[in-house]
Structure 1
Amino acid sequence: MPINISTRIAETSHRTEDALSWQESALCAQTGPEFFFPAPGSSTREAKRLCGACEGREACLAYALEHDERFGVWGGLSEKERQRLRRNGN
C-alpha cells in the first residue's frame, strides 16, 4: 500500500498541535515577554511566580529541555537552572 504523504503530514501536524496545546492556557501567553526574558542580571522572581501557578508548567519545562531553550524562564526554571538539571541527568 503506498504511503499517503498528505495523511502523514496531517498526522504529524496534529501531534505537534497536541504537544503544544499547553501554550493556549499558559499564563505567560497572557503577560508580556519581559517577565520571561528579562535583561541580564534582572530578577526572574515574577516569572517563576507565574510559572508556579500555571497548569502548563511541566509541559513547558519538558518543551524547553527537549528543544534546548537557552534563554528565558521556561517551566519555572532559569537558563542556569535548566543547565544544572541537564547536567545532573534529571
Structure 2
Amino acid sequence: MSDLVEDARHLSPSAQEALRLRAVAALVAGRDREDVAALFGVSLKAVDGWWAKWRAGGAGHASSWQAGRGAPGARGGRAGRGAAGGPRSPAL
C-alpha cells in the first residue's frame, strides 16, 4: 500500500474525489493500471471502475465515482425499492 494513503475510505469526500481524479489523470498519461493502484494505495478493481466511469462520463462526474455505484447518471434497480425488492429503509 502507498505511504500516501492508509485507507482511502477514511478520506473526506472531496479528498476521495481528488484521489480519483489524480488516479485517472495518471491513466490518461499512460501509467499502467497496476502502477496507479499501487501509487495511490487503492485496489486494481477501484482503478478499473474509476477508469470505466471516466470514459463513460468524463471528469465532470467524479463525485459519483464512489465504489459500488453505477455509471455516472445511471440508476440501478427499481424506483422505490430496496436491494431485496421491498420498501426502502428509512434514512438514519
Same fold (TM over 0.5): no
Structure with a larger share of its residues in helix: 1
Q: TM-score normalised to the size of structure 2? A: 0.30
Structure exhibiting the larger radius of gyration computed from Cα positions: 1
